[in-house]
Structures are given as structure tokens and as C-alpha cells.
Chain A
Amino acid sequence: MRKGEKWFGLLFTFCVMAVFWVLLSGIFDAFHLISGLVCCAIVAIISRDLLVNGKSENKLLKSLRLIMYIPWELWQIVLANIDVAYRVLHPKMPIDPLIIEFETTLRGDFSLLTLANSITLTPGTITILVEPERGKFWVHAIAKEPADALLVDQTMQRKVANVFIET
């Protein structure tokens, strides 16, 4: 990493730790604040490259698009839970599980994490395995309709690729 990015990583980690210290303690006198700043400085010096890696460009645009992606995902979470409640409380229990695998074009760490989390939180599917070199996912689906929504429609892969500006 270049020297400017090292200092940016240090400052960013220090600010995040200081915000969490003040948030979790709630006490604002001199002793607690100064000891908090000392602890945050030690932690930030030791682990400065854990939160920020200088590989990606357009960070501000990606963060804004990520914040705009969250309401759609919250709606999918509510739909998923209503679907599971219907399948559990129905007296005949209509499930027909199967395991599917597919490939995506995403290659970065954070975008694969977002897609795997979204697949686990949407109706009827849970991620089993992720292979990061070729972008392969193994997914366990609980019935035929959610598996088709993931394989044929591919709305979720397009939305995540739109957030992280990969093809």
C-alpha cells in the first residue's frame, strides 16, 4: 500500500473505534475519554489494515448504492419469513428440497459475502459452499419455485453486480 493509504487506514480505524467507545460507555468525564483515546490508538496502530484495503476505487459510489440496496433486502426478509411460516404451519407441509449449483461473474471478497448473505436471507434458499476463484455457489433450496427464482430470473445477482460495479 502507498504511504497515503496507510495513514488513511490508521485514521479511519481510530475514528470508528472512538465512536464505538463513546457509544458503548456513555460516560463523558476526562478520565474515561482519555483512557478511551489511548486504547483506540493502540488498537488502530496494531490493526490498521483490517478495515480498509486500498484495492477498490469509487468507494463513495459503492457505499451509496449499498445503502440503497438495503430496503429491498429488508422487504425480501419479510417475504421469506412469511413463506417459511406458511410452509411450517400448513398441515401437509409442502416441501421438496434439492441442491443446485450455479456460477456468477462476481470476484471480489465483499461482493461474494453480500451475495451469500442475501441468498441466505431470501425466501427458500441457503448457501452451502462458495468457491471464490470461479464464483461458483452451491445452494440448498426448499422447493421448486425459489430455486427457479434464483436460477432462471437472476434478479439478485444483477442487483449485487449493480451495487459493486462489476460486469
Chain B
Amino acid sequence: MVIVHVVVTVLLGAGVFFTLVGSIGLLRFPDFYTRLHATGKCDTLGAGLVILGAMVYHFFQYPETLLVPAKLAFLILFIFIANPTATHAIMKAAYKTGVEPWRLGEERR
């Protein structure tokens, strides 16, 4: 049982680390387009790893119900398809409305 606890801790810790990196990028980057780079990639994988860790924990703690890990697997698949699509939609709206991208050497926006 100890090795299951170690694996779940590592997965949850990696998920929280990537989510934290996404949030720090949202605060630190100088422009709207670069902020979407940080959040659209890091937050997807962070949430996916946290849910994967919970799934591994459920397999070994409650091994008689297998429908719940299937529901969580569908949730991971949905997040991996929906988050990049939403990122692309908001970026397309900003580009068509005329938000200017940032070049190296300008000031923060």
C-alpha cells in the first residue's frame, strides 16, 4: 500500500506544480497572447494529472466499483479537447477585434 501512496502523491504534486506555474505565468507575462500560452497549456495538463492521481487512488482503495474511474477518464478526455478549443476561440475573438501583439522591447500591457 505504501507504493500506491507514493505514486498518488507524486501525481498530485506534479499536477499542483503545473497549475501553479500556469498561474504565475498569468501574472508575469507582458501581453494577452503570451498569457494564453501559459494558461492554455499548463492548466490543461495540471488538472489532468490531479484527476489521474485521484483515479489511481480509487483503483486501489475501492476496487469493487469501476464505473467511477471510467467517469473520471471521460472527464480527462473532455478537458483535453475542450480547453484548447476555448483558448483558440478567445484568441480568435481578440485578433479579429484588433488587440495588438507585443514585440520584444516594448512596455507591459
* Chain A residues at the B interface, C-beta cutoff of 8 Å: 23-24, 26, 77-78, 80-81, 84-85, 87-89, 93, 95-99, 116-117, 120-121, 124, 126-129, 138, 140, 142
Chain A residues whose CB sits within 8 angstroms of the CB of B45 once the complex forms: 77-78, 81
Q: Give B70's nearest chain A residue, CB to CB.
A: A23
Binds A, one of B1-9, B33-41, B56-64: B33-41
* Chain B residues at the A interface, C-beta cutoff of 8 Å: 18, 21-22, 24-25, 28-29, 31, 33-34, 36-38, 40-42, 44-45, 65, 67, 70-71, 74, 80-81, 84-85, 87-88, 91-92, 95, 101-104
- Quote the shortest CB–CB distance from A103 to chain B (angstroms): 18
Whether A140 lies near B21 (C-beta < 8 A) is no
Chain A residues whose CB sits within 8 angstroms of the CB of B21 once the complex forms: 81, 84-85, 88-89
Per the bound structure, the CA–CA distance linking A99 and B101 in Å amounts to 8
The residue that A126 contacts in the complex, of B37, B44, B67, B102, with Cβ under 8 A, is B37
Chain A residues whose CB sits within 8 angstroms of the CB of B81 once the complex forms: 117
Whether B85 lies near A142 (C-beta < 8 A) is no
Chain B residues whose CB sits within 8 angstroms of the CB of A97 once the complex forms: 31, 33-34, 101-104
